Amino acid sequence: MRTVAVLGSTGSIGRQALEVAEILTGEIKVTALAGGRNIELLAAQAKKFHPNVVAIAAKEQYQALKLALTGTGIKVLAGEEGITEIAAGPDSQMVLAAIVGIAGLKPTLAAVKAGKYIALANKETLVTAGSVVRQEAAKSGADILPVDSEHSAIWQCLRAGRREEVENLILTASGGPFRTWAAHELMQVTVQEALSHPNWKMGPKITVDSATMMNKGLEILEARWLFDIPLAQIQVLIHPESVVHSLVEFVDGAIIGQLGLPDMRLPIQLAFTYPARLKTPWPRLQLAERTLTFEEPDTKRFPCLRLAREAGEKGGTAPTVLNAANEVAVTNFLSGQLAFVDIPKVIEEVLAAHELMGDVTLETIFFADEWARDQTRRVMHKE
């Protein structure tokens, strides 16, 4: 039986991970949970799964959570320190890293240094600190297993050949809710429209990232570190049906793809049970009922894809700045303070103002992150 800590248990991926864990009784035991601010849900999850330890990010809710779990024998922690303690602690062999944003970096890195299996659902960890994480994993022997459906698909497809036989990785993208919208129509996008993804049910931040296609840009940067392949060999293809989750093209022209329904529980389970595959109770893909289409992405209407690739090519702290500026811009869009079409404009202006630091350490990453957040706010409020 594999023991698992779920970081971000109250978020979309975390909740689905617990669904999977419930199905995998006898294979998986949830021994630690960490959530953000949703104390009611976190307490309910703790009472259901009876982990050894629970942490809540919001320190001011520590006493309330401790009171809610009185008599359960569950240890309660709080803040980034508490979550990091869970990530590195002896209670779990595997850590599902599903905390949204750069907030997930320190706990995930702590789990890497502890030499654990990392089921990685936090893009920002590798986007901002890919070289650092890879160096620490090489030292500790940590195994990083992708949970994003696209990266999980590539991971599975790579089993068909040797690394030197790979020509290209092809990340598929749904195109989001505005794939067919004209440029002038994008001027009028509302928050509700941006949160209405045609295929996936996700949290608000990643849903907006899908609508701007920044999500796919971040996936390019993540894939570069996950699979140790140059950015030039990572392509994006629009696939509106979200059935082909990604593909690998080999040097002889063969293309291997992984297909399935748009359901995150499958890649979560695969990471949980690696290297085994187990039967699932969920609906199966019926290919005879499907039509599959593909098209090239439009980086003029969706410039975030271009910005992400450019940041990756610059390297150093540029991806950190890209990510931080995007997080702030998306937060302001969701609160109604920034137009949808201004998200990439703000990010581009922040990137242009950044003085690149080529030496990537935790210190430079967090310095660049803080600078980018401040600069993004200045750009948005310069009027």
Per-residue pLDDT for 216 more than 70? yes
The predicted structure's pLDDT at residue 383:
47
Predicted TM-score (pTM) of the model is: 0.93
The predicted structure's pLDDT at residue 313:
96
- Average pLDDT on 145-166 reads 95
Average pLDDT score over the chain: 94
pLDDT-derived band at 243 (thresholds 50, 70, 90) equals very high
The pLDDT tens digits of the residues spanning 291-343 come to: 999 999 999 999 999 999 999 999 999 999 999 999 999 999 999 999 999 99
> How many Å apart are CA 13 and CA 83, to the nearest integer?
17
- Give the three-state DSSP class for 357: coil
pLDDT-derived band at 159 (thresholds 50, 70, 90) equals very high
pLDDT-derived band at 199 (thresholds 50, 70, 90) equals confident
Contact assessment for residue 23 and residue 281, using Cβ atoms and an 8 Å cutoff: yes
Q: What is the DSSP letter of 244?
A: E
Of 26 and 82, the one with more pLDDT? 82
The predicted structure's pLDDT at residue 215:
93
Contact assessment for residue 329 and residue 347, using Cβ atoms and an 8 Å cutoff: yes
pLDDT-derived band at 70 (thresholds 50, 70, 90) equals very high
Place of tokens 């937060």: 331
Contact assessment for residue 201 and residue 250, using Cβ atoms and an 8 Å cutoff: no
Residues 6+ positions from 354 with CB-CB distance below 8 Å: 317, 318, 321, 368, 371, 372, 375
Per-residue pLDDT for 381 more than 90? no
- Average pLDDT on 260-289 reads 94
The predicted structure's pLDDT at residue 102:
86
Per-residue pLDDT for 201 more than 80? no
Per-residue pLDDT for 272 more than 50? yes
The predicted structure's pLDDT at residue 198:
74
> How many Å apart are CA 106 and CA 221, to the nearest integer?
19
Provide the residue count of the chain: 383
Region of 136 (left: φ > 0; alpha: ψ -120 to 50; beta: rest) is alpha
What are the chain's domains? 2-146 (3.40.50.720), 184-203+299-383 (1.10.1740.10)
Residues 6+ positions from 348 with CB-CB distance below 8 Å: 303, 307
The pLDDT tens digits of the residues spanning 28-40 come to: 999 999 999 899 9
pLDDT-derived band at 111 (thresholds 50, 70, 90) equals very high
Helix H segments across the chain?
12-23, 39-49, 62-68, 79-88, 105-113, 123-140, 149-157, 191-194, 204-212, 214-226, 265-273, 304-314, 318-334, 342-353, 362-380
